[in-house]
Amino acid sequence: MDPHDTLPTLLEQAASPLPATVPSALRAHLAGLGAVTRFGALLLVFYSLFFNLSVVRGSSMTPGIQDGDRILVEPWSYLLGPVERGDVIVLRYPLDPEIDYIKRVIGLPGDQVTLARGEVWVNGVRLDEPYIAAVDVTSTLSTVVEPRNYFVLGDNRPRSSDSREFGLVPEANVRGRVDLRLWPLERAGLIQ
């Protein structure tokens, strides 16, 4: 290789048509591989722009989401619609924004959230929470969710660091919604 070759020159050579001496069957196979490679690269760019893959660390969301699960975080949905009660979200930990947490949204701006004897009440109505692993009968609090903030809890209440500990989550700390688990394969699918 000539040391004076430049990257554009090498790229032009790689993109140039195959020599006529290459058999037509091999030529068709190589052309097909090029199309697959281009499609794969386009898919990778699309994926990286619209989704983030994250690995769950800890047991605060069991039984639905477990330690080591690979989840897909979708950061764009909240540009199109509001955060809703019950959404599972990835958030920047309010006490150290370098750390991500996964939690469930319980209280929306303006909501009165009350915890008593292991039950959660929002605006005077007890929440039906079929997704929780265990209640924490020791938690008692009552708070009003401030504008542009959320109250979040883990599904495994006795083992979760959440709004009971670190307070409300500012809207700016919400990284995205989690709807899909990709791994392990036997539990892959939509998250309740």
pLDDT in tens, 12-33: 444 445 555 656 665 555 555 5
Per-residue model confidence (pLDDT) at position 35: 61
SS3 83: coil
Whether the CB-CB separation of 139 and 118 falls below 8 Å is answered with: yes
**CA angle centred on 77, ends 73 and 181, rounded to 5°:** 30
Of 16, 54, 103, 160, catalytic? 103
Residue 16 is among the residues annotated as catalytic for this protein? no
Of 54, 60, 139, 163, catalytic? 60
pLDDT, tens only, 88-108? 998 988 888 888 888 999 999
Q: What is the rounded CA–CA span in Å between residue 137 and residue 117?
A: 4
